[in-house]
Each structure stands twice: as C-alpha cells, then as structure tokens.
Structure 1
Amino acid sequence: MAAHTRRISAAICTYERYDLLPGAIESALKQSLPSDTYEVIVIDNSPDPERSARESSAFAGRPNLTWLHEPRPGLSNARNVAARHAKAPIIAYLDDDARADAVWLENIAGCFDEFGDSVKVVGGRIRPWWGAPRPDWLPDQMLGGITVVDLGSKRRLLGEGEWVAGANIAFRVAALRHAGWFNTSLGRTGGGASLLSAEETALTDRIKAQGGLVAYDPLGAVDHWVDPERLTQRWFRRRAAWQAVSDYMNDPKASMARHGEAWLQTKSYLLSRNPADRTMRGLALRQADAGDFHWQTSAIYNAVTALLAGLDEQDDV
C-alpha cells in the first residue's frame, strides 16, 4: 500500500468508451482543489492494451494522472485495482460517461471532514445528461434505473432505505479494504450483455454492518450520460430483470424470504391485463402510461425473484 501523499484520489474505470472517457478525465483534472492534493487514476479494462496505450498518450505529462491497463475484466475488479493504487486515504469513483463539477472533489472530501471518521462512504448528486428527450412513459420513480440521484439540497447522513450510486461514490480506502473490497461476482463485465449491478450497494451494506455511516453531499455533483439506447422500454425491462438477479446474488436469503409476496404481486399485475395478455406477453407489451410501465417493470422484477427462489405449482394458489 502506497504512503498517503494526497488528500483524495479520483478513479475512473472504463471499458472501450474512448469517445466519452476524455471528457470525464478532463473534468476530474480541472478540480478546485490544488493539483498536488489529489490524483486521478484511470483503470482501462478494454481488451486491446496497444489501443489503451495510444489513448493514454493524450494525457502524458499530467503530473497527477495515472493510467493503468487492467487485463482482468469486470468493473468491480477495476475498482479494486484503483483503490489498491490510490495514494490518498479516500477514493472517489466517477463513471467514464460522467462529468464532474469543478468543486466535486472539494465537497466530497469536505463531507468526510465534516462528519469525521465514523463516515466511511459519501455519495453525491447525479444529474441526468440526456442523450435524447426523456420519454413520457418514464416516471420519476424509475429514474434510479438510469442512476439519477437527488436526495435534497443539504449535506447529511443517510437514513434507512436511502442509497447513493456508483457513478459518484467515495470510500475511505481502509473501510473498503476492511469490508473485503468490491465483490467481483457483482457488477458489469465487458459490454452491455449483462446488466448485473449492486456491487457498490453490497459493499456499502457490509461497511454499514461494521458500524460505518454513509453521507450525502449535493454539491459533490456530476452529470451522467443517459445513452439513447437506454431510453427504451425494452432496456428498462432488462434492467428490472437483472436487478432481481443482482439483489438475489447480494442477499439470497432476503430474496428467498419474499418469493411468495413476489409471486402474488406478479399475478396481481397479470390479472389486471386483458385475458390474452396474462402470460409472458403481458410482461413484454409496450405501455403508453408511465404508471402502467412502472407496474409492469415491478412485475418483471418480482417474477424473476420468484423464479430464482424456486417457484413451483404449489405457489400458484
């Protein structure tokens, strides 16, 4: 472990996003903190090390930037590699398709300072950077699926049931290490074929179980790209199904315990449909109304949860 010579480290983990990555790096390099008090670490998980080396050359000579090519795939692994290379006691993660405000690191570090050693995790506001107009069918309750986080205008400790997201989250490195790092069986790997997630939630839960607190700072904010490909009902249905898988992997006992409730809620949705649509078809039909779409994606989440928990005909009573 390197000696602490910086106040805070900013880490950007990336996979073949060379179109958006430079903007994320520049935003992290143009922070209000003095440049000798923070560093920027890029972990490039892309499969071509020669391409990675060429791309990194654009940032050669930036004294507080480290670019590492990591051949082992997976976002969780890349985040762990960044934390192990950090020269600061705090590491803040920024997605490769995000842009940090100039005061991002100053406020994240200040939040840790204000609340003291008991706070092990700090998350900030994540604003949507729309790649296409927001659809009418997308309700506010589902914005978390595209990593929008706004918990108000005050710096504060989080309460039960509140969460912060990996596109803008920071940890004390010692707490991250003590909790066992990011779980490499969770999180995205490679392209978008898998939407497995919840790795930062699982880690935060372990830190909280060890007595650590989580705080939120609205001024430690970033803009996060919302790809037009995600602004489809098909993508949100996939997202709901993969969230159920992620939650099951994170806490199988909790998912097993609610399989009966999950199946009842799935049936409730299907029975509200026309008779011809009370099958898998009912979980795939386009919805014009935002409320109906929210209900449909909830039914998908519950159906997958019930199936993972071992649904059989005795449950259908």
Structure 2
Amino acid sequence: MVAPARRIAAAICSYERYDLLPGAIESALAQSLPSGSFDVVVVDNSSDPVRSAQEAAAFAGRPGLVWHHEPRPGLSNARNVAARLTDAPLIAYLDDDARADAVWLENIAGCFDQFGPAVQVVGGRIRPWWGAPRPDWLADEMLGDITVVDLGPERRLLGDGEWVAGANIAFRVSALRAAGWFDTSLGRTGGGASLLSAEETALTDRIKALGGKVAYDPLAAVDHWVDPERLTQRWFRRRAAWQAVSDYLRDPRARLARSDESWAAVKGFLLQQNPANRTLRGLALEQVGAAEFRWQVSAVYNAVTALLAGLDERDDL
C-alpha cells in the first residue's frame, strides 16, 4: 500500500511550558486525517537542552512527531524553524497552551483545497479555556486581547479589517518563503516578560500585498488556555501598551499620522476623571464597569502610541 502524501504539518512552538505542552501535542497527534498524511513539529525554545531532551523522551517513537530544541530565542524564529523542518506544503501553528479539535487539520486543509491557490492563509475559531471565572469588567469587545476569535459559522474569505490569530493560523509554506518568513524583530521572546506581538499580522499583510488571500474556517477550532494572571485589569493595561508598541513597529508611518488623534483621545479620557486622577494615575486605577475599563485600556494604547510618535504640547500664550 502506498503511504498517503503528507499534506500538512502541525507546528507547536514552546518556551518552558512543560505543564501544558503535552496536551497540545496529544491533541495535534490525534487528528482525523489519515496517519502519514500529516506530521507534528515541536520546536522547544527552552534554555535547557537537557530538560528538553528529557521531555522529548516521553514522545519517543510516536509516528509523525519531530521534536527540535532551538537555542536561538524568539517565537518568530521558532515558527520559521518549524516551517523548515517539514516537507509538507501547508503548516498550521498551534499554541503550546491550546488544544485542537480532532478535525482541526482536516478542516484547515479542506479550506485551502476549497478556495485554491489564491488562499495562502487560513485561520480558525479560538475558544476561551478559562483558567478562572470571567470578570464582570471584561466586555465581549475585549476578548480579542486574550486571543478569542469567532468570525461566524461559515467557511469564507476574510474582508478588510478582519483578522485571525497566531494561536490557530495556517500558511502555505511557499507563501511564507515568498513573503520573507516571520519577522524576528517582532513576536515574543523569553516567555511573558515581553508582550511584543503582531508578527503574524505583519506576515499576513505582506502575503496579502503579494496577492494572497486569507480565509476563515470555524470548524478548524481550538481551545486556548486563559491563564488566571491574564484576568486582571493590570494585565490588560500592560497588554494594550505592548500592542501599541507592536503596531508602531509594524506600521510606523500610519501611527505617526494618527499621533494627534491618539493624544486627543488620551486627554479626552483624562478630562473625564476626577481632578486628582488627571495624570498617569488615571491610566492605572482599577475600574468598576466594563465600559469604563474598555475606555481606560484604549487610553493606555493611545498614550503609548502618542509617546512613541513624539508629543509636542505647549501652553497657550
């Protein structure tokens, strides 16, 4: 019997998440596609190669699994390494703290097949796997900050302004190569010390600029762990600040052009606070309501954007 051609690779890039990583690997191995038609590539970015080898030993002999310890830090680099370790034409990235549905890869591959060569990026639904109860102040509009993605029930092409997330995103490897791979100046390095992001958005933008299209498949779904430490207002404010840095690095001209608008938005927020809180304190105080907190987080984002663009405030003479 002729073995099926390898259609797709599932890539899991990890940094010292050995508590959650095995579950992600098991979900990637337990896919509905025929054995031999997909492989699972684990790129372990931990600082300890001995520990990495010990963890890899638990998966020794599992068909279709490649475990690679990558000493150079950085998520973007690890993703590029994973793409070079497979001979499959498609690669789907799964976070190490996510669990893929059994039909995840089948639907991603099917989405590429349905729309043809023009579609070079496919993303799927990302459901929250709550590590603690959802706070009352966390509005639906802010769920994207914890990588919740639900663009509806239909497999379809995405329109302008719609996006998919790196916890569940797939590419044609040829498109990655043509667009110059993931930008290693973006993306997180060394766990959670930095929340720099936007690497998959920047790459997708370059692919679209070359004529590629992006599609969404709701049945290519995963559950994504929401760590309790992320369910604090402090984390969301920090997340907003790093998103501003990421967006500025990705498209500085656009952010510069909006610097006055960003600064006006910050002043608009602060002027609605009590006089004693019309300083940086107003950007750090705990908020009671969801609407107030969403406004504060937006002000944090705009404040960092304005600072990066260069403030020029003067008293009236």
The TM tier, using the shorter chain, reads over 0.9
Summarize the alignment of residues 166-315 of structure 1 with structure 2, pairs less than 5 Å apart.
166-314=166-314
Give the letter aligned to residue 268 of structure 1: G
**1:23 alignment partner in structure 2:** 23
In 2: Cα distance, 1:141 partner to 1:259 partner: 23
Q: Matched residue of 1:313: which SS?
A: coil
Superposition TM-score, scaled by structure 1 size: 0.98
In 2: Cα distance, 1:316 partner to 1:120 partner: 53
In 1: Cα distance, 2:26 partner to 2:107 partner: 18
Report the Cα offset of residue 312 of structure 1: 1.9
**Segment of structure 1 superposing worse, 166-175 or 81-90:** 81-90
Q: Matched residue of 1:206: which SS?
A: helix
Report the Cα offset of residue 35 of structure 1: 1.5
In 2: Cα distance, 1:287 partner to 1:122 partner: 37
Report the Cα offset of residue 315 of structure 1: 9.6
Render the CA deviation track for 1:91-135: whole Å, top value 9, x for unaligned: 000000000000000000000000000000000000000000000
Report the Cα offset of residue 63 of structure 1: 1.6
5+ long unaligned stretches in structure 2:
none
In 2: Cα distance, 1:301 partner to 1:117 partner: 37
Summarize the alignment of residues 106-185 of structure 1 with structure 2, pairs less than 5 Å apart.
106-185=106-185
Superposition TM-score, scaled by structure 2 size: 0.98
1:260, 1:315 within 8 Å by CA — same for their partners in 2?
no
In 1: Cα distance, 2:286 partner to 2:35 partner: 50
Report the Cα offset of residue 86 of structure 1: 1.5
Give the letter aligned to residue 52 of structure 1: S
In 2: Cα distance, 1:196 partner to 1:106 partner: 31
In 2: Cα distance, 1:97 partner to 1:162 partner: 24
Render the CA deviation track for 1:180-209: whole Å, top value 9, x for unaligned: 000001000012110000000000000001
Give the letter aligned to residue 185 of structure 1: S
Q: Matched residue of 2:229: which SS?
A: helix
Q: Matched residue of 2:91: which SS?
A: strand
Q: Residues 39, 257 of structure 1: CA spacing in aligned structure 2 closer, same or farther, 3 A cutoff?
A: same
In 1: Cα distance, 2:217 partner to 2:124 partner: 5
**1:89 alignment partner in structure 2:** 89
Instruction: Give the share of equivalent positions with the same residue, in percent.
Output: 79
Give the letter aligned to residue 276 of structure 1: A
Q: Matched residue of 2:11: which SS?
A: strand
In 2: Cα distance, 1:253 partner to 1:182 partner: 21
Render the CA deviation track for 1:194-240: whole Å, top value 9, x for unaligned: 00000000000000011100000000000000000000000000000
Render the CA deviation track for 1:267-299: whole Å, top value 9, x for unaligned: 000001011100000000000100000000000
In 2: Cα distance, 1:252 partner to 1:75 partner: 22
1:12, 1:96 within 8 Å by CA — same for their partners in 2?
yes
Does residue 76 (structure 1) correspond to residue 76 (structure 2)? The answer is yes
1:5, 1:87 within 8 Å by CA — same for their partners in 2?
no
1:186, 1:199 within 8 Å by CA — same for their partners in 2?
yes
Q: Matched residue of 2:208: which SS?
A: helix
In 2: Cα distance, 1:267 partner to 1:78 partner: 40
Give the letter aligned to residue 28 of structure 1: A
In 1: Cα distance, 2:16 partner to 2:108 partner: 28
In 2: Cα distance, 1:273 partner to 1:316 partner: 23
Q: Residues 315, 127 of structure 1: CA spacing in aligned structure 2 closer, same or farther, 3 A cutoff?
A: farther
In 1: Cα distance, 2:57 partner to 2:312 partner: 57
In 2: Cα distance, 1:177 partner to 1:245 partner: 26
Report the Cα offset of residue 87 of structure 1: 1.6
1:124, 1:168 within 8 Å by CA — same for their partners in 2?
yes
Give the letter aligned to residue 109 of structure 2: A
1:195, 1:239 within 8 Å by CA — same for their partners in 2?
yes
Q: Matched residue of 2:36: which SS?
A: helix
